[in-house]
Structure 1
């Protein structure tokens, strides 16, 4: 499997859903992407997951780079299931990872979809997580959505 390098140590591991034709009322004749990114550093972070039917493809893409069990953080930027649907599969593969989300509504939404058995961590705008050489800084983007 080809590795999609965004820049050294940052990989695009998302998938393409060629069959989706409608998204929130918009016609999309060429399908859509579910974007997810793997950041490799002293700590490893997965930014977002993909829709549940594509979980195996996501894990295959990650496995081409690193053993998913080595992921330290799974960051969920958006609770909707096209972004978070693979969380159960990813958390099963990355048993020691923390599930990071924003504000109580993020935890509330993820808990409603997937249960409360994950080690959730809430972050707020301005919070940071050091991965080693890289630091993730969280920003608030309320109501940000496609298109």
Structure 2
């Protein structure tokens, strides 16, 4: 009976300790203190709005950590703000599609690879300025 209790307690401790948590916005935002607003085209200064990203997933705490749409959108906004590019009512609109996230369930190599499509359009002319899928790890 004592062995059974220890086994059950150990199982739940392991299970609860290993619970996945969602990717945190502050860990996804890119803030480079060496980059100045002067490094960007003046047309982009405080001129990029961001639509809600699509393709993200909610984290199931019993499975793997995922990237949620709201957190990723906020991370992009934070990154753009830190570099003087974000605006709620910007001339340019950035659309984000999280196409795929490859991540190991367990192992030695815990590298995560993301496939994210970024599309920047000019809201005045509807012209696409940038449309690429960025693969990053």
Q: Same fold (TM over 0.5)?
A: no
Bigger relative contact order (CA 8 A; separation at least 6): 2
From the two aligned structures, give the one with the greater strand fraction: 1
TM-score between the two structures when normalised by the length of structure 1: 0.27
TM-score between the two structures when normalised by the length of structure 2: 0.28
Q: Which has the larger radius of gyration?
A: 2
